[in-house]
Amino acid sequence: MTQQVVSRTCPVAPSRTSESERRHHRRSRRSPIGIVITAAALACLAPGLAHAVDVAITADNAYAFAYGTGAGILGPDLSPAVENCSAGAIWNCGPGPETYTNVSNAAGGYLYIIAYSDDATTQGVLGQFANGAAKTYTGIGGWEVYATGIDVDPTPITCAGTTTPSLATINAQIGIANAGTGGPGSSVRWVTQAGGGVGVLASGELNTPGGTFPEVCPTVIDPAARWMWYNPDPTTISNPFSAPAPTGEFLIFRLPVSQVLSPTAYYVNKDIKNTSGVTANGIEMEVLGHSTYTDIYHATTPTFSVDATGANDKLRWTGGSIAVNSLVHVGFRTSASTIEILSVRMIDNSFNSLGCAVQLNTGIHTNGNLKWDNTVTNCASTSLFIGNVALEYYANEVPLSDLNGTTVRSPMQTVNLDMAPTMIAPGASCEAPMANTPSGARWVVIHQKVGTTAAVDQTEDWVQVPVPPGIPAMNTAGIVALGLLSLATGSWFLWRRL
């Protein structure tokens, strides 16, 4: 890991105006240049073009995988079922994890993993999907699971795969998950780490020695892969990977192919000071429009819900006791490439607002600049300072639960922006070049502080986004040149759109 300091200023410019204008011009106002970049990126991923992916996978005890559409899997695409009936067949180099190279997939579909266990000792699935140097791992990112409620066990004694659910059964269950009509014992519909039906997708330990599982052959599956399973009730089951096994565990996992080929995600984890003047029970974040939340972070506010009944999502963490001027830590992950937070409030357990928390919308503008918008103004509209900004670069997506002030992370490089705390008026924004993206970096964590004074002492943020494609390692001049080029092209594109 290397550290460096880069001097920056953050010129403040007027940003959006009213919320009604934001709503009416959501796409074009949010990122007009982004339309051009997105179109260019899509042109590189022509519809229907197959992309070969190398797969390494194991399961305790059985799995099959396939690429399919949202409606299901075509027969020839389903891998032969692998049933592991010995420890060596799960973990050891050689008889353990299997590899499949140059597995083709159609754009726009899903990667599916079917898994089941012998209901004994331990259970889970672990794997990686490599698109060139870029890898996607089980247990992290936008995975969903449907628990069918049907118990399937490996074939007794022979482990010959004769008990594997048929393709027709698998596709029927995918249909039930899509319709959200699963019966008792099922998860009812697809669920993520944030829930969404009954139970949650369980993201377990890394593929490293110790813990519930031994290390799976590390030359085949990376330490960054995480064991994945289903937890039907996180309030009563602390470790669904160990005995007793959750029941009815013929499971179907899925991940959009786009998340394998070119992952998008927006992570935000925040330490928020309770400046409401009274003890609060939790936090409510209002997010523009509707999104799927694939992970959430609880800390001291154990109850989480999303109220999606209005025009915008209201994410609510409650059940805590947050003293005046103490911190509460909450966060979420969505596979959307960007989100816009409209307000953050301290609330009681009945969701009544007790006061506002100060926030900035943070991300990477499609010109490659860091960008802060003082647009979290539905609760409080006040001038805010951004400061203490550090950029941590990673090859792989950092789990939401690691985005906090206590977990020791190991970035490939950290860039501290030597930028004085900068005031941003309500509705205004500021930008600062990123620069010096290290080669191989695919994710960046923006670690920063926000406040109503230059002390920036009211919110500490960890925002993680992909390093934008087309912004490779280059110097500041290169980034500025690219920005100007994009701006020129964007203007032309906007003119064409009118």
- Residue 151 Cβ, how far from Ca ion at the closest point, in Å? 5
In whole angstroms, what is the distance from residue 325 CA to residue 337 CA? 33
Cα 392 from chain centroid (whole Å) = 17
Binding site for Ca ion (CB under 5 A): 60-61, 117-121, 123, 151, 153
Residues 6+ apart with CB under 8 A from 270: 329, 330, 331, 344, 359, 459, 460, 461, 462
- Map residue 468 onto helix, strand or coil: coil
Helix/strand/coil (H/E/C) assignment for every residue in 30-86: HCHHHHHHHHHHHHHCCCCCCCCEEEEEEEECEEEEEEEECCECCHHHCCCCEECCC
Nearer to Ca ion, 85 or 261 (CB): 85
- Residue 418 Cβ, how far from Ca ion at the closest point, in Å? 53
Nearer to Ca ion, 61 or 361 (CB): 61
How crowded is residue 150: how many other Cβ atoms within 10 Å of its Cβ? 17
Nearer to Ca ion, 123 or 369 (CB): 123
How crowded is residue 393: how many other Cβ atoms within 10 Å of its Cβ? 24
Reported as half-sphere exposure (CB side, CA atoms, 13 A), residue 128 has a value of 22
- Residue 247 Cβ, how far from Ca ion at the closest point, in Å? 8
- Residue 165 Cβ, how far from Ca ion at the closest point, in Å? 11
- Residue 164 Cβ, how far from Ca ion at the closest point, in Å? 12
- Residue 180 Cβ, how far from Ca ion at the closest point, in Å? 24
Nearer to Ca ion, 123 or 231 (CB): 123
- Residue 351 Cβ, how far from Ca ion at the closest point, in Å? 40
Nearer to Ca ion, 251 or 330 (CB): 251
In whole angstroms, what is the distance from residue 461 CA to residue 268 CA? 7
In whole angstroms, what is the distance from residue 11 CA to residue 410 CA? 31
Nearer to Ca ion, 46 or 157 (CB): 157
Q: Are strands 2-7 and 413-418 parallel, antiparallel or unpaired?
A: parallel
Preceding omega of 207 cis (within 30 degrees of 0): no
Nearer to Ca ion, 91 or 332 (CB): 91
- 178 φ/ψ angles, rounded to the nearest 5 degrees: -65, -35
Nearer to Ca ion, 28 or 247 (CB): 247
Q: Are 353 and 334 in contact, with CB atoms under 8 Å apart?
A: no
Nearer to Ca ion, 117 or 193 (CB): 117
- Residue 90 Cβ, how far from Ca ion at the closest point, in Å? 8
Nearer to Ca ion, 156 or 223 (CB): 156
Instruction: Quote the crossing angle between the two packed helices 476-497 and 32-44, to the nearest 10°.
Output: 100
- Residue 207 Cβ, how far from Ca ion at the closest point, in Å? 17
Preceding omega of 263 cis (within 30 degrees of 0): no
Q: Are 221 and 191 in contact, with CB atoms under 8 Å apart?
A: no
In whole angstroms, what is the distance from residue 282 CA to residue 319 CA? 7
- Residue 254 Cβ, how far from Ca ion at the closest point, in Å? 20
Identity of the residue numbered 46: A
Nearer to Ca ion, 89 or 364 (CB): 89
- Residue 92 Cβ, how far from Ca ion at the closest point, in Å? 15
How crowded is residue 495: how many other Cβ atoms within 10 Å of its Cβ? 8
